[in-house]
Structure 1
Amino acid sequence: MVASSWPSLDELDAVRNKVAEMSGADGRDVRVVVSPYRICPLGAHIDHQGGTVTAMTINMGILLGFVPSPDAQGITGFICGSEEHSSGLSSSAAVGIAYLLALETANCKIIAPEENIELDRLIENEYLHLKNGILDQSAILLSKYGYLTWMDCKSILKPNLAKRALHYFSENKRVKEGLEAWASGNLDEFGKLISASGRSSIENYECGCKEMIDLYEILLKAPGVFGARFSGAGFRGCCLALVDADLTDKAAAFVKQEYQKVQPELASKLPQDRLVLICEPGDSAHVV
C-alpha cells in the first residue's frame, strides 16, 4: 500500500531547519511530530454518549518540530499547519496531541494512546472549554493509512465514563418504562424503577455522599415505600420516596429513627420538624 503523501520530505526538512536555526541544534537531532487532521464519515455527535463512530485522518495536519530544552523538561519547537483554514478538521485536537507527543518524547515518557486520548480530552474540555467527546483524539492517534477507523466510544471511555454512559442509556429506558407503569397505575413497578434510578446514580453516575446514600438505603427499608432516589443536588440534596398514602407517618417515623442511628451528629443539627417532609402531587404555577 502506498504511503500517505503528507508530509513531504521538503516539508519535514523545512521544519527541522527552522528548529535548528532557533535552537542552535544540529538539524539531524530535530524530531518532528506529525499530527494529522481528521474527518468523520459517519457517527455525528454520538461519541459524547458512548456511541459507535467512523473516522479517518487526512493528508493534512500539524507539524511540530522540536528538540528538548536545556532543562530537559520542556522543548524548543516550531509548529505549523498544512492549511490555514482547517475549521471542522479537529485542528485543536491535532495541536494538543502534537504537544503531548513532543513533550513525552523529550522527557522519555512512553504513554499509551488511550491515556493520550484522555489527556487531550481534558485539554479540549477543561482548558479550551470545548464540549466534545473523544472522537477527534482517537481518530488522530489510532487511524492507519488506507483504513476506515471504527470506534466503540463506550469501550474507549475510561471505566468511570463508561459507567456514566450506562446510566444515561439505562435512565432513558427507565423513564419510558416509568411512563407506562404510571399510566397503568402500577405503583409497584414505578417504585422499582425509581429505586433502580437511585442505585444507578450511586454506582454508575457516581454521585451522592455517605450521608445521602445512608438515607437512600434507609428509605428502601421503610414501611410503605414503593421506591426512592436522590433529588436535587446528588451530593447535598435530598432523597424522595414514593410512599403508600396510608403509611406515610410510619415511614417518616422509621426514617427519623434509623437515620439518627447511622448519622447521629448530622441528624442532631437538622430541624426536627423538617427531617421528613410529607407531601402530595401539586399543580403548575398559576395566578389566583
Structure 2
Amino acid sequence: MSVINISSNEQFNTLLNSSRVVVADFYADWCGPCKAIAPVYDSLARQLTRPNQITFTKINGDQQKDLAQAYSVRAYPTFIVFENGRKTQTVAGADPRRLNEVIQKLATEATKSDGAAAGDGESSGGWFGATVAKGYSDVTDQVDVKGLELLNRDNERGEARVLFGGTKPSGLAGKGKGKAEGKADWVESDTDEQLMLYIPLQSTLKVHSLHITSFAVPDEDDDEAPMRPKTIKLYVNRSHVLGFDEADDIPAVQTVEIKEEDWDAKTGTARVDLRFVKFQNVTSLVLFFVDGDGDSEKLRVDRVRIIGDSGEKRSMGKLEKIGDEPGE
C-alpha cells in the first residue's frame, strides 16, 4: 500500500502520530490539475514510502472539509508535508518539478530505515522485529485502537493499545524484564495462559502476515514466569470480541503454531505467514492465543504488527470540471 486514502480526521491524526513524516495530497474529483499530477505523486509514493517513516496520503477536500479548513487549503491540488505531526512545507498547485524536489529531500531520511526491518529493528521513526514481506508494507496504522478489546488481561500490565505502538519495546533492552513498574508496554494473561484479542480496522485490508513479539523469559524455578505464544487461532470480520467458549465452537480461518526456531533471539519476534487467499477483505481480526511454549499459566505479548496491503481501490471518478479553486 503506497498511498493511504483518508476517510476521517481520526484516521489522519493517527497517522500523524505514528509516522515521522506524512505527505498529504489535498485534491478534488472535479480538479483537472489534480488528475494530471496524480501519476507523479503515486510514483513518488511507491519509491519512498517507508513504514512509520514516510507515509503518503490522499485527502478529498470536498469530502473532508474539516481537514482542508484546518490546514488552510484554498486551492487544489495542495501538497502538505508534516514532520513529527507538525506542518512544515506546502506545495500549492500542480508543479511536478517542485513536488519532486520537496519530496526527494525526504529520501535520505527514508533510506536510513531500510535496514531497520532486521537486526535490532530500531529506526528513528519506528521499530520492527522481523522482515516485511517483499511487495507488502506495515498496515498496523489501520488498527482502530479505540475499539480494541482484550480478554483475560492482567490489569497490572499494559493495555491492548501498547501492542500496536511503533516504539522499541522496553523488553528488548532487558531481554525480557522491561518496565516492571508503572504502566508496562506489554500485556500478560491473568487467570490462565489464554488471551483473546479483538482488532477492528479503519479500512478493508489484505493481510499477508503478522509479526508477534514476546520477551517472555523462561524460568524453571518460577512457574509464574510468562511464556511466549505457541498456538494462535485467527478469525476475520467478526463484529465483536469472541468469548473463549464461543471461539471453541467457531471454526478458525487459520490456526498457526509458532515453533521455537521461529523466534528471532535478538528481537523476540516471530513472523507468522497467513494463507493470503483467506485474508483478502479483512475489516477486523480476532487473535485467540490458545497456549504458550511451556507449563506456566501466564502468557506475554509485547507487540503485534500487521503486514499486508489495502483492499480498497478508490476511483477518482469522472473528470467533471477543470479548475484549481475549491468549490468552483
Taking structure 2 as the reference length, the TM-score comes to 0.21
- The structure with the greater share of residues assigned to strand is 2
TM-score under structure 1 length normalisation = 0.23
Bigger CA radius of gyration: 1
More helix by share: 1
